[in-house]
Amino acid sequence: MGYTVKADPHYTLYHPRWYRRRMSVWWWLHNRAYAFFVLREITSVFVAFTALLYLWQIRALIQGPQAYEQFLARLKTPLFLTLDTVAFLFVLFHAITWFNLTPKAMVVRMGGKRVPDWAIIGVNYAAWIVLSGAVAFLLLRG
């Protein structure tokens, strides 16, 4: 026989009667954890949006005071206020879930013992607060 045996999960040659389920396009609605995961994946769009907004801001800054005024005025339109609020919430969601996931990837051992998850998460939050504080200080100082 001229058959070649392929080690492929969808291979059916000798088992035409095995039942193979196809995953629904709506698989992520089947359970809350999947929906949460997809929501987290979607946050990337808003993270990208926020980054683009900063790039746009820098460009306006380079183009001079008038362009920057125009940029600021545009940010105050209802469209951008709504977009910014939504983006902010998604970025916050992204940051918090990201911090909470870090101990999964980082196993730190000190004195022969594994550093507990809350400590690793805590260090992340502490760094976040310190950096945000430093940025706020730089901006609000003068």
Partner 1 sequence: MPSTVALSVARYRPEQESEPTFQTYEIPFRKDWVVLDALNYVKDTMDGSLSYRWSCRMGVCGSCGMKVNGTPKLTCATFLSEHMPGPIRIEPLDNFPVVRDLVVDLTDFVRKLKQVKPWIVRKEEKPLAEGEYLQTPAELEAYKQFSMCINCMLCYSACPIYGLEPSFIGPAAIALAQRYNLDSRDQGASERLKLMSEDDGIWQCTFVGECTEVCPKHVDPAGAIQQYKLSGATQWVKSLLLPWGTR
State whether the Cα torsion 38-43-49-52 is positive or negative. Answer: negative
> Does 141 sit near partner 1 (CB under 8 A)?
no
Which x/- pattern, by CB under 8 A, does the window 30-69 give for partner 1? xx-xx--x---x----------------------------
Looking up tokens 């998604």 gives 90
Q: Which of 101, 86, 73 is nearest to 47 (CA)?
A: 86
Of 15 and 76, CB closest to partner 1: 15
Q: Supply φ then ψ for residue 60, to 5 degrees.
A: -65, -40
> Does 17 sit near partner 1 (CB under 8 A)?
yes
> Do 44 and 94 touch, CB atoms closer than 8 A?
yes
> Do 84 and 75 touch, CB atoms closer than 8 A?
yes
CB of 47: closest distance to partner 1 in angstroms? 15
CB of 20: closest distance to partner 1 in angstroms? 5
d(C-alpha 38, C-alpha 48), whole Å: 16
Looking up tokens 């980054």 gives 51
> Does 20 sit near partner 1 (CB under 8 A)?
yes
CB of 114: closest distance to partner 1 in angstroms? 8
> Does 18 sit near partner 1 (CB under 8 A)?
yes
Which parts of this chain interact with partner 1 (CB under 8 A)? Answer: 7, 9-10, 15, 17-21, 23, 27-28, 30-31, 33-34, 37, 41, 101, 104-107, 112
